[in-house]
Structure formats: C-alpha cells, structure tokens
Amino acid sequence: METKKIEFEKLRYAYITIKHFLETETYEKINSLNDKIEKDLALSGDDNLELLEKFVKKFELDHKGFNYSKYFLSEGELFDPGAVIVNLLAVSVWLPLKTIELLTLNKINLDKPKLPIRPDRHVLDLTFKDLITWYLEKEFKTSAEIKYEIVK
C-alpha cells in the first residue's frame, strides 16, 4: 500500500464533494466511508454503471484502469431469463414456508431459500472511500492501494 501525504482541507473537500454527489444522485444517505454502491446504495446493473459514468464525466477522471466486471455484475447477469426463472421458483418455495412461520407466530423456523438468487460470480463492489480515492488521484485507484496521511 502506498502512503501519500495530503492536506486536511483537500481531503475534507473531497469527502464533502463526493458525499454530496452520491447523495444527490442516489437519494440515499451516506453513513460511512465503507458504504458500498451496490450493497448499501442499492444500485445494481445499469444504475451503478450510469452513476459511475456521471462520476467520471463530472470530475474529469481517468477510467482506463477501471474494470467494471471486477466490481459489479452487469444488467444481463442480474436479469437474464434463467435467473428470473430460478428466482420465481425460489419464491414459490419461500412464500409457503414464510406463511407457515407467520401462522405459527414464528414458533416454527424453516430454512427458506435466500432471495434474490444471484449469479455465482463474486464481485468486489466499490465503497464511498474508493470513490474519494479515485477523485483525489484523478485515475482509478482504490482505498486499498493508497493510504492518506494528513499533513499540516
């Protein structure tokens, strides 16, 4: 991990700027540097792609080193016909089991399939902190690659 020195005011400005951008674009509240675009802000597929395109364009960032498929599932992976059928079948099992639990006032706990069922491919997701790092570096770098040390 590379350590870089940064003035507090510059880091604070980046934090406020990116937080405002994300909250304005997503209508979600940013609560932590570790908030993730897909998991916490509920942006998947084309939604997170559009957000990242706006982010890169608005702040004039280099995106050549960014590999979208490493961090996110594509719209096609999320909503392909096979996945839709699997999820419909899972719901048809989940719903009766959940009904039984509710009718017994949750005295019976049954193993239900998790919903929605997503593709098996593991992706990393990007955090609010990663976007701040990208903004500061002007080229794609994650917070795992660079540590900032505040100077006076």
The Cα 19–Cα 22 span in angstroms is 5
Distance of CA 45 to the CA centre of its chain: 10
According to the model, what pLDDT value does residue 118 have? 66
17 has pLDDT over 90: yes
Of 17 and 98, which is predicted with more confidence?
Answer: 17
According to the model, what pLDDT value does residue 117 have? 63
Lowest mean pLDDT among 17-21, 56-60, 121-125, 128-132: 121-125
pTM to 2 decimals?
0.74
Of 113 and 98, which is predicted with more confidence?
Answer: 98
Segment (H or E) for 55:
helix 46-58
Mean pLDDT across 2-19: 96
